[in-house]
Structure 1
Amino acid sequence: MSARIARRLNRERPPAGSYLVRLITRPSRGAVTFRQWVRRGEIGIVGLALLSGAAAGLLALLMSEATHGLHVALFGAGAQYGLSLLEDADPRLLLALPALGGLLLGLLNWGIARRGLRTPIDPIEANALHGGRMRLSDGAVVAAQNIVSNGFGASVGLEAAFAQVGSSFASRLGGAFGLRRGDLRVLVGCGTAGALAAAFCAPITGAFYAFELVVSTYSIASLAPVMASAVAGMLLASALGRTAVLAGAGSFAAPTLGDYALALLLGLLCGLLAIALMKGMTLVEALLRRAVPWGWLRPVAGGLAVGGLALLSTGVLSAGHGVLHLALASDLTLPLLLGLLVLKTAGTAISIGSGFRGGLFFASLLLGALFGKLFAIAGVTLLPPAMMPTTVDPMLYAVIGTSAFGAAVVGAPLALTFLALEGTRDFAVAGPVLVAVIAATMVVRRLFGYSFATWRFHLRGETIRSAHDIGWLRDLTVGRLMRRDVTTVPLGVSLAVIRRTYPLGATQRLIVVDDANRYAGLLLLPEVHAAGPVFDTIDPLVRLRQRALLPAMNAKEAMALFEDAETEAMAVVDGVQTLRVLGMLTEAHLLRRYGEEVDKRRRDEVGIP
């Protein structure tokens, strides 16, 4: 008997090598078995993460090259070293091309709306509300919008498209293997990590960007797949000749106590400037909505404005990679830094506010570098020597400003700190960068309360503040939890009839309806049997006449109504006007199911199967 049981267990749990044999000899059954093995094992998830990271990195680099090719084709050979460093350009091209890009983008958006396609779901929203489920078509739409916006010179970056395409691919890959909700959310973060790691050749930056913004938590279980994905993206980028974005900053001396004090002040100012930038974009959008009622024409107006700024300085065009390297690798004068800072801030606010698609990730890095260098030079020039450290390195403050302003806008303080370390490969910047990043993020959190990503959700009416999974709560509705087998009785029926029809123990509660079969209240059967001869009908005993649940309410909303009504059960009706009874929900069942779901999410976060 024991030998038979052992053979049966061996058949149910085949050795790892048999998966490959089965896949070759019986492809259909082998594919199913391999899919099950991937779903059940941590090694399988890491394998999918590696594939997601490499694919996301490749897609990010392809989009980057496509945009660069568009720059050269439209603006001429002078754009090959960076559109923001373009010299001796034809003023007509500078003015017309961003507007033409706005027209193409408007027509593209109009065509998407005509086809009835939904608004693309970005990785943060997907993980917060949809359990990591994304569509490849969303990635294609966002990629096309970003390439047109950036390629024609709008002052936006491509990082939003990188993250969208990488996470969409990862989500579809995870869906093909039937990953569980928690694993799928982590894999979406893997796609984002691989794309950002490839874009900046910084694996730790990409990984912590995913942890802080897309996965919204850090755990040992998610560490291996996210890190593996980021390394895969970085290795692919390095093999194709990609370099770190802050490589031109050089090395720095050990910071003094005065440097830490100035870094704190710089971080506070970066936080205030970041708030001004995000509010400025909202203001521009509101003004354009009033001035240009046709949505597809607003990017044209924004493109004309950006083109006008480009006549003053081409540094406002595109993401600004060339200007960032110029700011880090050379000495710029105070008026030039101030002019670039003002123009780039205005160009970015106009581009995003008018409807151009793109992220603020790279724009925030550039603005931070310009502001940090401006801060250092202005301090040396304007402040008394007693208030400044013995030596002030403008390059150091450019790097500090890059991380501080980026953290204030993007909302990923650790990712931006690691970007400074990986970009410069100099640990001397770690202390001042951390001080500035902490100060900047605290200013934004206390005075504004949103990062750029969550601010966009707020403007759309969403309540999410991060990618923390609350979609399960929205799915846990009263309609899913209620009992449909309920008993109804008419209003005005006599107590004697109820006592004869429903003896004690037959049920606990009865739902009362009126002559039009609409909800009229709740009746407790023990109270009916305990009532004396004072009452003839059930009407005086009817409770909760104006209290009922709706099927679309989530668990938290229902719990609040239970607490306010001080009852243990409530009827569920289809609407406040029709009041047709659908079922009943008890508070005990609601709390039990809510507790089970909370426990399941906590297990997913810490990696407990």
Structure 2
Amino acid sequence: MAAQPEGAAGEPHVLPAGLLPRLWTFVRAQVRAHEVLVVALAALIGTCAGAAATAMGVVTQFMHELLFGLASGERLSASPALHSPWLVLVPAAGGVMMGGIALALKRWRPHAIVDPIEANALHGGQMSLTDSIILALQTMVSNGFGASLGLEAGYSQIGGGIASRFGAIFALRRNDMRILVGAGAAAGLGAAFDAPLMGAFYGFELIIGTYSIPAAIPVLAATLCGVVTARTLGLHAEPLTIAHLPEVDASQFVPFLLLGLVAAVVAIGIMRLVTAVEWVVGHSRLPAPLRTGLAGLAVGCLALYSPQVLSDGHGALHAQVGSAVTLSVVVILAFKVLASALSVGSGFRGGLFFASLFLGALMGKLYAVGVELLFPGIGLGLAPSVAAVVGMGALAVGVIGGPLTMSFLVLEMTGDLTLTGLVVGAAAVTSLTVRETFGYSFSTWRLHLRGETIRSAQDVGWMRSLTVAAMMRTDMRIFPRDGTLGGLRQAFPLGSVRLVVLVDDAGGYAGLVRVSEGYADHREPGTPVQEIARHADAMLLPAMNVKEAARAFEAAGAEELPVVSDYESRRLVGLLSESHVLRRYAERLDMARRGLGAED
């Protein structure tokens, strides 16, 4: 056996006890303290996310070629027709598999999977990497078997999950963790589309929820590394080329802005349809494998008309943008909307990101033709190919959100600044209309249906942890509800206390009394104390967060309010002042802005 190296005293070299833990603590402290190390960590996360996105794309393309008999490199949605009518059973088989996976997860991992938006809004960027891998695999099964969904949810989820795991390993602050989750999600999506600017702004607008200088460099570093990694590994995204692109006249800007309104209406309709399908499926009482299996069969039957309704529609988009407008465009648009709603509503996992781009392109082409048919004498001359690109970006903004995200995607796909300007205008109209009339994107709408109230990824998790129970005081002075002013004066001399809480015999809240009002000269000692009580019906609950408490103070017009265990018994448990609520809110808001928090 080889001899161990010895020191000067002839004994083996042994690391001092506790050196490795101390060294790791030092490394973590350096990462937390230096922004450049956070950027380096973001670059590493982007590389991992790019590799994961590449693997997902390669595997699902292989599944398409294997299951649908495609030639090497052929896009499923670009196929002219299904090679055999029996291929309608492929999405059905995928549905049965997805239903079985759902049953297994319900038993072994019954909790809901937290996506990057929810993680950043409510949990300080904390996500489960295991859950993220599970969701990514589910999206691969769904897309691989032809469900009318894309892989975007998986790209974003796996990137965010990797980032959250690295953030937990290095014990990063809440704000840094949220930035890294945004960077990871941005890297995954940017790598898949070969669009670094789109990926970065996806991270800003949808995952982080705001633009900021500290977040810019880590997100851009991660996205660029993700894109470079995907390119190096061979993941290729075809540019969207439009032959003989016509010039856009200034008189056409208004019609294209109106296209943004149309896109908003269609986007809201799609989200409502998905909800309706989910309600029908949820009330069908069918086993999960049968529900998704039947939905998959329906999607497969729709694909008998055209495979363009299958998968995310990537190949179909390139075929449709420059082609002529025929009646089949109307049919494909209707079938694709139905197929996507059936896929999402029945339990397939995936995203509507690219599906909404494809639907928007079809909608834009029909809009251009419709304007010419309705107003033939105006002579606007809207080019269907241009309208397709504008509709593509506008509808995607309505469904997914992120007007700059989609505008940069169009720029990176087409390389045309004029088209990008039109998309920016139409996307702004769509975004404003959807926010004013509907209030949610597809991701936040689904969270709303689960009972959440968040409308973006802006950090509100700290707000929920700052509850009335954490802010209230319990040293309030109480006085019997059926007492008199004379008793009040005897119990509380003037100047000894400012406010007294009235309670009944069971300890239930009955009102607030200012002691100074009990010493008014015109009031007799025998006057019931209830005559000067205020806010008898205004109360707070311990579980209310700081924002809800502030609203309660504003509605009641009160400076102090009691805290009761519940509205029925009204049992008094504490007292809270509006000034304290506002001060604590301002403190925590400043801490959140500076990236500090209780999780540090």
What is the TM-score when the length of structure 2 is the normalising length?
0.87
1:531-570 aligned at under 5 Å gives the runs 534-535=525-526, 543-570=534-561
- Asked if the contact 1:197/1:230 (under 8 Å) is kept, the reply is yes
Summarize the Cα distance change of 1:424–1:551 in structure 2 as closer, same or farther, 3 Å threshold. Answer: same
Q: Residues 127-152 of structure 1: CA distance to partner in whole angstroms, max 9, x if unpaired?
A: 22222222223312321321221111
Match of 2:407 in 1: 417
Match of 1:361 in 2: 353
Match of 1:585 in 2: 576
Match of 2:184 in 1: 191
Give the drift of 1:30. Answer: 2.3
Tell me the distance in 1 between the aligned counterparts of 2:361 and 2:592.
Answer: 40
Q: Residues 213-244 of structure 1: CA distance to partner in whole angstroms, max 9, x if unpaired?
A: 11111122221111111111111112122334
Which residue of 331, 336, 339 corresponds with 2:323?
331
Which residue of 350, 354, 358 corresponds with 2:342?
350
1:442-521 aligned at under 5 Å gives the runs 442-488=432-478, 503=493, 506-521=496-511
Tell me the distance in 1 between the aligned counterparts of 2:492 and 2:70.
Answer: 89
Structure 1: 5+ residue stretches without partners? 1-21
Match of 2:5 in 1: none
Match of 1:149 in 2: 142
Summarize the Cα distance change of 1:507–1:349 in structure 2 as closer, same or farther, 3 Å threshold. Answer: same
Please give the secondary structure, in 1, of the residue aligned with 2:526: coil
The question of 1:241 aligning with 2:234 is answered yes
- Asked if the contact 2:47/2:226 (under 8 Å) is kept, the reply is yes
- Asked if the contact 1:249/1:399 (under 8 Å) is kept, the reply is no
Q: Residues 274-297 of structure 1: CA distance to partner in whole angstroms, max 9, x if unpaired?
A: 233222222333333444555553
- Asked if the contact 2:193/2:237 (under 8 Å) is kept, the reply is yes
Match of 1:117 in 2: 110
- Asked if the contact 1:250/1:424 (under 8 Å) is kept, the reply is no
- Asked if the contact 2:275/2:345 (under 8 Å) is kept, the reply is yes
The question of 1:573 aligning with 2:564 is answered yes
Q: Which moved more, 1:30-39 or 1:456-465?
A: 456-465
Tell me the distance in 1 between the aligned counterparts of 2:582 and 2:371.
Answer: 59
Please give the secondary structure, in 1, of the residue aligned with 2:312: coil
Give the drift of 1:44. Answer: 2.2
Q: Residues 73-120 of structure 1: CA distance to partner in whole angstroms, max 9, x if unpaired?
A: 322344751222346645454222212211221222222222352111
Tell me the distance in 2 between the aligned counterparts of 1:384 and 1:87.
Answer: 33
The question of 1:600 aligning with 2:591 is answered yes
Structure 2: 5+ residue stretches without partners? 1-14
The question of 1:370 aligning with 2:362 is answered yes
Look up the equivalent residue of 2:342 and give its one-letter code: I
Look up the equivalent residue of 1:555 and give its one-letter code: V
The question of 1:168 aligning with 2:166 is answered no
- Asked if the contact 2:372/2:379 (under 8 Å) is kept, the reply is no
Tell me the distance in 2 between the aligned counterparts of 1:348 and 1:599.
Answer: 42
Tell me the distance in 1 between the aligned counterparts of 2:428 and 2:527.
Answer: 71
Please give the secondary structure, in 1, of the residue aligned with 2:304: helix
Summarize the Cα distance change of 1:519–1:86 in structure 2 as closer, same or farther, 3 Å threshold. Answer: same
- Asked if the contact 2:302/2:339 (under 8 Å) is kept, the reply is yes
Tell me the distance in 2 between the aligned counterparts of 1:235 and 1:179.
Answer: 26
Summarize the Cα distance change of 1:557–1:397 in structure 2 as closer, same or farther, 3 Å threshold. Answer: closer
Q: Which moved more, 1:252-261 or 1:309-318?
A: 252-261
Give the drift of 1:468. Answer: 2.0
Summarize the Cα distance change of 1:347–1:494 in structure 2 as closer, same or farther, 3 Å threshold. Answer: closer
Look up the equivalent residue of 1:412 and give its one-letter code: G
1:35-54 aligned at under 5 Å gives the runs 35-54=28-47
Summarize the Cα distance change of 1:481–1:373 in structure 2 as closer, same or farther, 3 Å threshold. Answer: same
Please give the secondary structure, in 2, of the residue aligned with 1:81: coil
Match of 2:54 in 1: 61
Tell me the distance in 2 between the aligned counterparts of 1:113 and 1:569.
Answer: 46
Q: Residues 552-571 of structure 1: CA distance to partner in whole angstroms, max 9, x if unpaired?
A: 11223323333444443233
Tell me the distance in 1 between the aligned counterparts of 2:360 and 2:243.
Answer: 17
Tell me the distance in 1 between the aligned counterparts of 2:554 and 2:256.
Answer: 49
Summarize the Cα distance change of 1:228–1:574 in structure 2 as closer, same or farther, 3 Å threshold. Answer: same
Tell me the distance in 1 between the aligned counterparts of 2:258 and 2:487.
Answer: 79
Look up the equivalent residue of 1:368 and give its one-letter code: G
- Asked if the contact 1:259/1:432 (under 8 Å) is kept, the reply is no
Tell me the distance in 2 between the aligned counterparts of 1:270 and 1:567.
Answer: 45
Please give the secondary structure, in 1, of the residue aligned with 2:576: strand
Q: Which moved more, 1:371-380 or 1:196-205?
A: 371-380
Look up the equivalent residue of 1:211 and give its one-letter code: F
Look up the equivalent residue of 1:311 and give its one-letter code: L
Give the drift of 1:205. Answer: 0.4
Match of 2:292 in 1: 299
- Asked if the contact 2:57/2:235 (under 8 Å) is kept, the reply is no
Which residue of 195, 201, 215 corresponds with 2:194?
201
Q: Percent identity?
A: 43
Summarize the Cα distance change of 1:353–1:270 in structure 2 as closer, same or farther, 3 Å threshold. Answer: same
Look up the equivalent residue of 1:344 and give its one-letter code: K
Tell me the distance in 2 between the aligned counterparts of 1:521 and 1:564.
Answer: 16
Tell me the distance in 2 between the aligned counterparts of 1:598 and 1:102.
Answer: 45
Please give the secondary structure, in 1, of the residue aligned with 2:562: strand
Match of 1:273 in 2: 266
Look up the equivalent residue of 1:364 and give its one-letter code: S
Match of 1:19 in 2: none
Q: Residues 375-415 of structure 1: CA distance to partner in whole angstroms, max 9, x if unpaired?
A: 456777897486144xx654433322322222222111111
Look up the equivalent residue of 1:83 and give its one-letter code: L
- Asked if the contact 1:247/1:424 (under 8 Å) is kept, the reply is yes
Please give the secondary structure, in 2, of the residue aligned with 1:223: helix
Higher helix share: 1
Summarize the Cα distance change of 1:550–1:270 in structure 2 as closer, same or farther, 3 Å threshold. Answer: closer
What's the Cα RMSD here? 3.2
Which residue of 216, 237, 241 corresponds with 2:209?
216
Aligned residues: 581
Tell me the distance in 2 between the aligned counterparts of 1:209 and 1:595.
Answer: 29
Q: Which moved more, 1:571-580 or 1:196-205?
A: 571-580
Look up the equivalent residue of 1:345 and give its one-letter code: V
Give the drift of 1:480. Answer: 0.7
Look up the equivalent residue of 1:180 and give its one-letter code: R
Look up the equivalent residue of 1:595 and give its one-letter code: A
Which residue of 274, 285, 296 corresponds with 2:278?
285
Tell me the distance in 2 between the aligned counterparts of 1:453 and 1:537.
Answer: 56
Match of 2:171 in 1: 178
Summarize the Cα distance change of 1:545–1:249 in structure 2 as closer, same or farther, 3 Å threshold. Answer: same
Match of 2:132 in 1: 139
Q: Which moved more, 1:276-285 or 1:309-318?
A: 276-285
